[in-house]
């Protein structure tokens, strides 16, 4: 029993109150007592005296015991209440017990008071202990239920980590489990971009994901941001009510989106910071410190998931890149290069090679200018091979050989489902050339709508795949080539002036073959040697008459045309001395005065038709026209389409 009990006595006769106190002390009870006789005094004593036991007369002049019992039950329901009265009958006694009294004692039998009081106090203590135990049990059950839900959520998150490796499905699975414990209106996964020192929205879930601010791809600076604070301090940032607590500028935008409370948990990897996990609600004071602790536990699991996801994406990207490189290299193997080395000793060739040696080590953008067939791709390879990127890939793109609907995908890649037929993600040529060099041949044929995207790559070194939102950073040296006059194209509005200036950092003009006729004997000897190995013939030299005719010819198709002529002559040769008179069109018999010469397109069209007729209109393969002409099959098809060459054309020309 509690020592120093406080007993409140409601009695209008002081002598009766003294008798009650005497009986209680005779029963060895230690207490302090206060006597009150009115309702107001009784109500006040309940508050300031804080009694452990109430003894009350049943009937008082201005106040009755039943009213006092009602007040006591409302104000102090745990305090035992004993009626002590001389006028109470059996019916009233029973009624008082029904009303909630603990016991009743007649004044004529006060000897029963001390035992009744001790019993009432003991029962009150037992009830309090039982109630406390029940409350503790309920609390423990509630805590256990929360703990089980949290463990279940963490287990589900762990299972999600194991079974989901791609970004969208992984984050969706994580947030579905998280939302069972921590309700949210928006959950955000932000990944740290060390090269920019920024945080980028990588994934979103929740009903507020469609709002204007914070869409996937949004970047914020790490410094001076809420997520940056959590990442720097390696602890959760809790905002109970953003309307009262915001301190970062970005929080004003979040508040404008409708978020009133949020928690941000840092994702700290083994070797570097990865980002943050943010959950927000439209409800103020939705989250507590306990919620922050739980989210921190979730963040440790999510960190493992993000590390696995990034590793998976890196492996997938490397695998895709290796597959694309393999495809590209196979195409390169199937495509015979026009030249194995640059052949020529003329002043024009030496000047071009000096320019190559000058610009190659700098990493600057190079624009190679020259007529068709002057060896622009060969010079591009020379620039790459003399550059610091020589051990990295040189990726070639012929802008004229690709349909305008496909060239964007070819250059920048596409995501799965970006368009009809996009059944899987594809790595673009810029991504494939990362760290190396990309050669954009026939850059003058690039569609105007893609020129702005190319300009962004040149200036910022970044782009997005077709159908994607993730910005991809690349470091690529660009070498472009064209046989067009880009300055005139700029004036005509078919080529962007800003792209022209960005490409024209180091223009390198290649001489036409007619401008370096002194190199013809060397080129002929070189091509004959190649043809001898290729066709297994003992080819030694060109006849004097044939060489004289070649020296007089104007060569509108330049070195490519010369190679085609020599290969045709080599195929038809019957001995070691090669003659070209039977292998040339009548148009090639014209002297250097220009009589009988036609436009380059007409010459090219006629020559392609003749080669196609010789090969029975087979384009690809070891017996195809592309091999004889020294062109990639796709390039030949593009030229045929551009020149209007169809199989019926030969019949039309013969008619």
Residue 137 in domain: no
Indicate which CATH number applies to the domain containing 491.
3.40.50.300
Residue 219 has pLDDT above 70, yes or no: yes
Same domain, 82 and 175: no
Q: What percent of the chain has pLDDT over 90?
A: 30
Residue 654 has pLDDT above 60, yes or no: no
Give 302's pLDDT tier (boundaries 50, 70, 90).
confident
The lowest-confidence range among 164-173, 301-310, 530-539, 563-572 is 164-173
Same domain, 625 and 565: yes
Residue 323 in domain: no
Same domain, 489 and 363: yes
User: What would the two tokens of residue 338 be?
Assistant: 């026009």
Same domain, 341 and 450: yes
Q: Which of 278, 312, 346 is the last residue of a domain?
A: 312
**What is the spatial distance between Cα 37 and Cα 277, in angstroms, rounded to a whole number?**
65
Indicate which CATH number applies to the domain containing 543.
1.10.8.60
Indicate which CATH number applies to the domain containing 274.
3.30.450.40
Same domain, 370 and 271: no
Same domain, 521 and 505: no
* Structural domain range at position 387: 335-509
The answer to whether 246 and 239 have CB atoms below 8 angstroms apart is yes
Same domain, 397 and 340: yes
The values of phi and psi at residue 103, to 5°, are -165, 175
Measured in whole angstroms, the distance separating CA 78 from the mean position of its chain's CA atoms is: 61
Tens digit of pLDDT for each residue in 37-70? 999 999 999 999 999 999 998 888 888 888 999 9
pLDDT at 196: 86
**What is the spatial distance between Cα 78 and Cα 80, in angstroms, rounded to a whole number?**
7
The answer to whether 571 and 530 have CB atoms below 8 angstroms apart is no
Residue 504 in domain: yes
**What is the spatial distance between Cα 338 and Cα 560, in angstroms, rounded to a whole number?**
7
Tens digit of pLDDT for each residue in 354-395? 999 999 999 999 999 999 888 898 999 999 999 998 888 899
Same domain, 464 and 524: no
Whether the full predicted model's pTM is greater than 0.75, yes or no, is no
Q: How many CB atoms neighbour CB 497 within 10 A?
A: 13
User: What would the two tokens of residue 351 be?
Assistant: 């000047």
Between these two residues, 204 and 74, which has the higher pLDDT value?
74
Residue 263 in domain: yes
Average pLDDT over residues 128-132: 88
Residue 303 in domain: yes
Same domain, 212 and 275: yes
Integer angstrom CA distances of residue 24 from 18, 125, 616: 10, 19, 129
Same domain, 526 and 486: no
Residue 70 in domain: yes
User: What would the two tokens of residue 17 be?
Assistant: 């109150």
pLDDT at 582: 47
Same domain, 596 and 548: yes
Give 579's pLDDT tier (boundaries 50, 70, 90).
confident
The lowest-confidence range among 308-312, 460-464, 505-509, 563-567 is 308-312
**What is the spatial distance between Cα 331 and Cα 324, in angstroms, rounded to a whole number?**
10
Q: What percent of the chain has pLDDT over 70?
A: 85
Q: Which of 312, 343, 366 is the last residue of a domain?
A: 312
Residue 158 in domain: no
pLDDT at 17: 92
**Where are the strands (E) in 510-634, listed by range?**
541-542, 577-578
The answer to whether 114 and 23 have CB atoms below 8 angstroms apart is yes
The answer to whether 474 and 462 have CB atoms below 8 angstroms apart is yes
User: What would the two tokens of residue 148 be?
Assistant: 């089980």
Taking every pair of C-alpha atoms in the chain, what is the biggest distance, in angstroms? Answer: 156
Residue 138 in domain: no
* Domain total of the chain: 4
Average pLDDT over residues 489-516: 92
Residue 339 has pLDDT above 70, yes or no: no
Q: Which of 76, 107, 127 is the last residue of a domain?
A: 127
Same domain, 505 and 567: no
């Amino acid at each position: 029993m509690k020592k120093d009990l406080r007993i409140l006595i409601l009695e209008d006769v002081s002598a009766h109150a003294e008798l009650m106190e005497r009986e209680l002390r005779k029963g060895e009870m230690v207490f302090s007592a206060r006597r009150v006789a009115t309702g107001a005094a009784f109500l006040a004593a309940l508050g300031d005296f804080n009694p452990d036991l109430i003894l009350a007369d049943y009937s008082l002049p201005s106040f009755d015991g039943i009213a006092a019992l009602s007040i006591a039950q409302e104000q102090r329901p745990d305090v035992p209440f004993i009626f002590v009265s001389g006028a109470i009958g059996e019916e009233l006694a029973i009624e008082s017990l029904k009303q909630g009294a603990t016991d009743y004692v007649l004044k004529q039998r006060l000897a029963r008071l001390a035992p009744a009081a001790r019993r009432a106090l003991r029962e009150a203590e037992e009830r309090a202990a039982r109630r406390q135990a029940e409350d503790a049990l309920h609390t423990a059950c509630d805590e256990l239920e929360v703990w089980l839900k949290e463990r279940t959520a963490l287990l589900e998150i762990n299972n999600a980590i194991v079974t989901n490796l791609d970004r969208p499905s992984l984050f969706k699975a994580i947030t579905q489990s998280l939302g069972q414990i921590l309700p949210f209106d928006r959950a955000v996964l932000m990944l740290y971009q060390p090269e920019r020192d920024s945080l980028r929205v990588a994934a979103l879930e929740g009903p507020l994901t469609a709002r204007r601010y914070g869409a996937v791809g949004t970047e914020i600076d790490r410094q001076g941001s809420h997520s940056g604070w959590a990442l720097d301090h390696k602890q959760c940032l809790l905002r109970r009510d953003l309307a009262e607590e915001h301190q970062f500028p970005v929080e004003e935008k979040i508040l404008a989106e409708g978020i009133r409370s949020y928690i941000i948990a840092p994702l700290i990897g083994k070797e570097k910071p990865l980002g943050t996990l943010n959950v927000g609600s439209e409800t103020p004071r939705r989250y507590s410190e306990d919620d922050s602790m739980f989210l921190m536990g979730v963040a440790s699991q999510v960190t493992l998931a993000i590390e696995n996801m990034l590793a998976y994406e890196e492996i997938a990207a490397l695998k895709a890149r290796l597959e694309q490189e393999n495809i590209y290299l196979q195409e390169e193997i199937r495509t015979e290069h026009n030249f194995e080395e640059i052949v020529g000793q003329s002043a024009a060739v030496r000047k071009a090679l000096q320019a190559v040696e000058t610009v190659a080590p700098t990493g600057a953008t190079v624009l190679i200018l020259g007529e068709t067939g002057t060896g622009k791709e060969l010079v591009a390879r020379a620039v790459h091979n003399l550059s610091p990127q020589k051990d990295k890939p040189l990726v070639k793109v012929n802008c004229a050989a690709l349909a305008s609907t496909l060239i964007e995908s070819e250059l920048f890649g596409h995501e799965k489902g970006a368009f009809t037929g996009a059944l899987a993600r594809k790595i673009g040529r810029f991504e494939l050339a990362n760290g190396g060099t990309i050669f954009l041949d026939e850059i003058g044929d690039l569609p105007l709508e893609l020129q702005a995207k190319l300009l962004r790559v040149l200036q910022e070194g970044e782009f997005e795949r077709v159908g994607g939102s993730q910005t991809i950073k690349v470091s690529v040296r660009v070498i472009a080539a064209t046989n067009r006059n880009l300055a005139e194209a700029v004036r005509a509005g078919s080529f962007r002036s800003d792209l022209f200036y960005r490409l024209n950092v180091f223009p390198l003009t290649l001489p036409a073959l007619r401008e370096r006729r002194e190199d013809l004997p060397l080129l002929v000897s070189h091509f004959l040697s190649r043809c001898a190995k290729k066709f297994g013939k003992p080819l030694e030299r060109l006849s004097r008459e044939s060489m004289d005719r070649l020296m007089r010819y104007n060569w509108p198709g330049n070195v490519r045309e010369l190679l085609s002529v020599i290969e045709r002559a080599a195929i038809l040769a019957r001995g070691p001395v090669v003659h070209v008179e039977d292998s040339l069109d009548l148009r090639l018999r014209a002297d250097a005065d220009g009589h009988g010469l036609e436009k380059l397109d007409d010459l090219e069209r006629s020559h392609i038709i003749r080669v196609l007729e010789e090969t029975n209109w087979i384009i690809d393969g070891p017996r195809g026209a592309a091999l004889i002409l020294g062109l990639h099959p796709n390039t030949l098809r593009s030229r045929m389409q551009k020149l209007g060459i169809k199989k019926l054309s030969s019949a039309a020309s013969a008619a």
